[in-house]
Amino acid sequence: MKFLKRGMKMVIVSSYPPRECGLATFSTDIVKALAAIFGTTLPVEICALQNGNTKLKYGPEVTNVLRTSRADNYRKIAHKLNERDDVGLVCIQHEFGLFGGVYGEHLLGFLLALDKPVITIFHSVIPNPSTKRKIIVQTIDNLSDKIIVLTNNSKDILMQHYSCSKTKIKVIPHGIHTVLWDEKEKRKLKHNYEGKTILSTFGLISANKSIETVLHALPEIVSKHPEIRYLVIGKTHPEVVKQEGEKYRNTLKELVQELDLESHVVFIDRYLKLKQLLDYLTLSDIYLFTSKDPHQAVSGTLCYAMACGCAVIANPIPHAEEIVHKDRGILLEEFDNTSAFKKAITELLDDKQKQLELSKNAFSKSQENAWENTAIQYGLVFGELTNRTEDLRFNLPPIKLDHIKALTTDVGILQFSKFCKPDPNSGYTIDDNARALINMVLYHENYADENVLNLADIYLSFIEGMQRDDGWFDNYKNFQGQLTNQNQEVNLEDANGRVLWSLGYVIAHKKALPINLVLRALKCWDKALPNIAKIHSPRAVAYAIKGLYHYHSAFQDQKSKELATELAAVLLHHYKINSKENWNWFEEYMAYANNVLPEAMMYSYLITDNTKFKEISEISLDFLLANYFMKGQLKIISNKKWFKKKNEKEFYGEQPIEVATTMISLDLFYKITKKKKYKNQLELAFSWFLGNNHLKQIMYNPINGGAYDGLEDKNININQGAESTLCFFKAQILMDQYLEKKSKNQKDKNMWIYQPSSKSMS
């Protein structure tokens, strides 16, 4: 029987589906994101806020229902939570209209009775408050351990207009759902909008939306752009329906008829499920944020639209002023201005390049606020207030082949992508196809998936096609199938070493792979082997040694052992002339793929039994790791500047390849030495992908399994090239192997790995 540790649950107090409102949707997204990131190590329950006597059918996560109109109900629920040892923190989603009493003052009774850490999330922060409102907010501030707001503007208002403590307030932006950049035309086709330019506005409809402002602008626009379709997405707000029915919507429909816009305006009058909503926002070209409430603190709809790659035109609510910069959209200067909307819409319709640039920039910047990243922030606040950070564990995301398949053509795997969209102009490299070949064999070995052998065949065919008559390999080929000038301009040693590694890896798995695949790899290997004498650069030598090890494991021949001994001597020579006191390394600097050097020395030991090779391998790897792991995080060598003996280390510019190669080495060293430190560091290295990095952001695309290309100082490069994606893919397979062993030993299938560091992540 499993017991939950004391205080490991979070209870969220909020409206919740099937209730239809923005906070219900927000809380649902938080619950799902926390489950995806932290799994069973941060379970969440809901205390659902319910007005009136309407009975709603909730999911199992709703364990309490608070009747907001009954003042005594607040204290009763608080006392129930106080009695529970498993509840560590209560998170209140706050809107003034959600709670009973004047300005929701009934909530104060709940807070006064509650004996648990509390965070309050203010979704609406009104400037220039009345005395009553100010007192209530100040009391909530005093009774909360942490205040969370969604914008910097809200933080400023709380400090300046309510005198709230700066140290208690934390800004965690509204989360967004990740979508794929290249889906717009597919979604248009799906919804029968092919060839149309789509404008849209989304949200629960009320007069505050001011949609008529856009409708009045459309007649002149559609006369020039008849392909326009304006989608008004969402049902009327339930509270509005109670008060006045569909009066506002009917006036809009009448206006559409009056302006002869029936062919251009579509009302999608329903509460959309998430997938449907994201479909409509993804197919939209321009999103029109028409709300005329100058005090609206935050707009989830605006965030979602920008994250779906819409060029936005927005009225100047504070949130829009904060996120709609001139390179991401058009921010209007005043509300209710039909002429301004007409001018802005026309500008984007006439300048498709500007429209595209705004879309790209909005999409790119929004990804830092993915719900997964938001969940990490909330998890860290939970850990801080409950002293339970060390009990949190990151989930292992599912292993996906989607992006690898998208990058792969009949020729091979393309080198780069723009966001997630494969870029044919980048062409192909043998480097990436060699990596891809190894990955498919590894995946086949671990999951017995015969389908990946088709991909392996493509990657091996590419390698075969790049081999010259003398056995040497070219590296670069363009999309048209022609070798490029880079093959004459760039040193090809590393690429050739990497190919030998991949061929040796295929040969080593001869019993599990189709014989034809193995024979083709053998043919390339035999033709290439004489060229090992041409290889001199340390990394190329190291890759070749890895290939020789795998080949030797299959045939145990003397020739491969002799070659490995010769190449290991080359690395040993580099080590002897460059290593000094406090610099146990093969070169005068640390550059890229550093781990392959000590790894190759360990493989040399495995082939030759020369203990000197093993000694140098451990000394050099430990020296490298001492420069990589600090304060509970992996901090790899920057791609901006190599780390030299006498230089200060450059940070940022971190790339997935270095993380993955670190893990590959740690995996080998743990298996050989059985030293637990290597296993622990392997788990810690993988957590870099999951958010244990200086930006506290995931380094992968949760939709397609692609990996982001780089971790910079203040942002992530969200392009998803082959190298990054293949490195993440291999790292996942390695990590999954350890989790499988752990689950068997513990008889527990919890899929979690290294915890976020309280030092580095808080």
pLDDT given at position 747: 39
Mark residue 108 as left, alpha or beta (left: phi above 0; alpha: psi -120 to 50; beta: remaining): alpha
Residue pair 521/547 in contact (Cβ under 8 Å)? The answer is no
> What is each CA distance from 456 to 403, 420, 506, 734, in whole angstroms?
15, 22, 10, 19
Across the beta sheet with 228-233, the strand order is 265-268, 228-233, 197-202, 286-289, 311-314, 329-331
pLDDT given at position 759: 45
pLDDT given at position 744: 46
Query: Is the pTM value of this prediction over 0.85?
Result: yes
Buried b (16+ CB within 10 A) or exposed e, 78-94: beebeeeeebbbbbbbb
Q: What is the pLDDT of residues 519-558, one digit of tens each?
A: 999 999 999 999 998 899 999 999 999 999 999 999 999 9
Sign of CA dihedral 742, 746, 751, 753: negative
Q: Which residues of the chain have pLDDT under 70?
A: 1-7, 639-642, 644-650, 740-762
C-alpha to C-alpha distance for 335 and 326, rounded to whole angstroms: 18
pLDDT given at position 646: 61
pLDDT given at position 649: 65
**E-only strand ranges, 95-237:** 118-122, 146-149, 169-171, 197-202, 228-233
Output Rg (C-alpha) for the chain, integer angstroms: 29
Which of the listed CATH numbers 3.40.50.2000, 3.40.50.300, 3.10.450.50, 3.40.50.720 matches domain 9-171? 3.40.50.2000
Q: What is the phi/psi pair of residue 238, to 5°? A: -55, -40
Residue pair 285/199 in contact (Cβ under 8 Å)? The answer is yes
For the record, the structure tokens of 186 come out as 């597919």
Domain coordinates of the chain in residue numbers? 9-171, 181-369
> What is each CA distance from 296 to 122, 144, 320, 461, 679, in whole angstroms?
12, 23, 10, 58, 50
Q: Considering only CA atoms, which of 441, 538, 543, 462 is closest in space to residue 496? A: 543
pLDDT given at position 751: 45
C-alpha to C-alpha distance for 756 and 762, rounded to whole angstroms: 9
Q: HEC string of 11-29?
A: EEEECCCCCCCHHHHHHHH
3-state helix, strand, coil in the chain (%, to 5): 55, 15, 35
C-alpha to C-alpha distance for 338 and 209, rounded to whole angstroms: 13
Q: Which residues fall within 8 angstroms of residue 650, CB to CB, at 6 or more apart?
A: 637, 638, 640, 641, 643
Q: Which residues fall within 8 angstroms of residue 343, CB to CB, at 6 or more apart?
A: none
Which of the listed CATH numbers 2.40.50.140, 3.40.50.2000, 2.60.200.20, 3.40.50.300 matches domain 181-369? 3.40.50.2000
pLDDT given at position 466: 98
For the record, the structure tokens of 219 come out as 């007649």
Mark residue 128 as left, alpha or beta (left: phi above 0; alpha: psi -120 to 50; beta: remaining): left
pLDDT given at position 749: 39
C-alpha to C-alpha distance for 301 and 312, rounded to whole angstroms: 11
What does the angle CA 325 – CA 329 – CA 331 come to, to the nearest 5 degrees?
A: 70
User: Same topology for domains 9-171 and 181-369, yes or no?
Assistant: yes
Q: Helix, strand, or coil here: 337?
A: coil
For the record, the structure tokens of 181 come out as 């950049």
Q: Which residues fall within 8 angstroms of residue 627, CB to CB, at 6 or more apart?
A: 590, 637, 643, 649
pLDDT given at position 762: 31
